[in-house]
Structure 1
Amino acid sequence: MTTEPAGTPDEEGLRHRVRALLAAHDPASTDRLAFLRARFDAGLAWVHYPQGLGGLGARRSLQGVVDAELAAAGAPENDPRRIGIGLGMAAPTVLTFGTDEQKARFLRPLWTGEEVWCQLFSEPGAGSDLASLGTRAVRDGDDWVVTGQKVWTSNAHNARWAILIARTDPDLPKHRGITYFVCDMTDPGVEVRPLRQITGEAEFNEVFLTGVRIPDAHRLGAVGDGWRVAQTTLMNERVAIGGASIPREGGMIGTVAATWRERPELRTPDLHDRLLRLWVDSEVSRLTAERVRQQLAAGAPGPEGSGLKLAFARLNQQISGLEVELLGEDGLRYGDWTMTRPETVDFFGRDAGYRYLRAKGNSIEGGTSEILRNIVSERVLGLPSEPRTDKDAAWKDLPR
């Protein structure tokens, strides 16, 4: 049995706060942004966050109570798919490592969607081995001057801010010479170029940083401690990707199951067997994600999130492949292969061909499946780690 700190609202207390918010700001007549700001200020954005930062210090599990009450009242949401990087990655990192000034400045417009965030981590030569990154940040008075290149940056073309890691001391081993910053994407030294994908779209980008000035006040964590700060981001990212709350038979498996029921002429014994196996695997993954979210109520996410994201990628690719086979000739059709710059990834408002092609990226984004297998084997299963001869060498001495 858990006991709440004095003054922390319980379920009924949260319902009362929701009713008070709705009475003061009727969703039918209140501007959408004004309502979202009022919800944040009432502590009903992230109920487990501290008071004044969109929360009330309540149990994380009670967020669902608030969301359900507001949805039933027709209240607007903050379009979480469009601002997913901010919600799932930037916000928990700012909360954990940010100063009071940084939390007050960034969290409210992040949650309301007024400011979109992106992630400047991966580089052309530092993807799976992220710690080998070469983007440099050099101190210049109260600023840092950043020069380098980042890649696979989702939504950089819409972003106002970016979470960025850069090398601040090349004389230290690669994991110890990195510092974490918040980068202004409107700086004149930031150039965003689209990367066209196999889907025909460009939701990813490459970003060139040329003399970008970042004030030291926008540094998260201590100088040289960026790798530890980045682990908070990465662990939350993997839970955000692979551990989303969905109903039974939700997600990709629900789309294929619906087609199976509606079109019996497509069925074969082999496809039936594969569908059943994938349905069971999807349900196991969904229930495991529920357990991980319950563990989150007690603290930060751990390496288990890597296992969730690994399963998410595998299942999406196998299920989308099954869907294409199930549909036969119809599965080979692709609706609109045109160059667009989408704000969100829409798996379910598109055809099977899009889902099949887009799912290929699931095993790369948010950490490659190969790296996630290493994390699960070493940090979850306790198996011996791979030899790493470069761990203690200065970054500047490593071959590139």
Structure 2
Amino acid sequence: MTVPNTSAAHTETGRQAPGSSRIPEEPRAAYGRPAVWLAVSVILLALNLRPALVAVSPLLDTIRSTTGMSATTAGLLTTLPLLCFGLLAPLAPQIGSRWGMEPTLAATMALVCAGTALRMLDAMAGLLAGTVLIGAGIAVANVLLPGVIKRDFPSRIGLMTSLYSMSMFGGAALAAGVTVPVEHAADLAWRPTLALWGLPAILALIVWMPQVLRHTRTRATGARGATPPVRGLWRHQVAWMVTLYMGLQSLAYYAATAWLPSVLTDAGTHEGVAGWMLSFSSLLGIVGAFLTPILANRHVHPGVLASSGAVLCVLGFVGLLVSPTAWIYLWMVLLGLGQGAAISLAMLFIVLRAPDARHAAQLSSMAQCFGYVLAALGPLTLGGVHQLTGGWTIPLLLLAVLVLPQIVFGLGAARERHASPEQRS
């Protein structure tokens, strides 16, 4: 079955279908050279949604040794951004509606740049405040970008979701893999090394500016229609299917990412090898994130893909439990492909289950609010269970069990229905 690239409220040319209640939005579907430039801009924005935060992890030991930071404070550097993602997600659609998606997305990159600069300050407050600014900027961009894809690429949803997910996953893998080598090669301290991740955000901001100018001209001509908020979404069954799928895959991904190196080192793996395994898994995640939406658009039911991704993750976690070192590359392949597929499907479900860009932004807000708050609890809970049990058997079993409901919610989110309060579920 082919996943539809348009909704009932869209024709391929972006015109409103007869009887649709969709609010007109600007701009319509992008074509030709402007579409290519817009696609590149979206990819660059997506590329900046993780590196400034992920780059902290490989430098964390150095940061703690030079600042005397406690383990609790160090944990805030990981937890604060996830809390920003969840708590600010409900505000993003209102901000985007009031100021326009293009200016708001430009502002998100400005916040990332400001946050990376603020972390250059010697005071600990600068490091934490900069992390919050970066998290706030990324939180809003997380929510609005799926709406841009829905609005401007109605006939290329699968491809653009693939590129978007791949860029987001790839940015995280890049930051995890090259931050320390760049630090050593350039002989930099950790503060300027972190600040370097503001440069891609500056590039994205520059490339995105033509969209801001186009938005300004469109508003000046009075062509922008009113975009009232979507009401009743939090009581809609389809919206909750998408949200719960997003939440469970986020919890599993962030909990596993936070503790995977520790699982491997406690099993006897060298620290360097354990770090490489995390990067290797992320590289496979890029493949899974890119291919999954394309397969969903080519006669592979997204419910089958959601189920397959969950099964791959379960096999990876069980494999780490049974034999963490003998077949380590196999487990990383399974986890990488499964997690990459789940992340891209979560983004794809947001776009496909929304009848228009306005609903896409609201559904993205709901899914990410719940998903990232849940994800923030994942690493903490897994660490607590490990501390209570003194090993990784129960934590890994817990992760495997928590992945299984993704199949149910993935199948529910894959049904061709819209998360629209005007439609019965």
Q: TM-score range by the shorter chain?
A: under 0.3
TM-score by length of 2: 0.25
Larger relative contact order, structure 1 or 2 (CA cutoff 8 Å, min sep 6): 2
Per residue, is there more helix in 1 or in 2? 2
User: Larger Cα Rg: Structure 1 or Structure 2?
Assistant: 1
Per residue, is there more strand in 1 or in 2? 1
TM-score by length of 1: 0.26
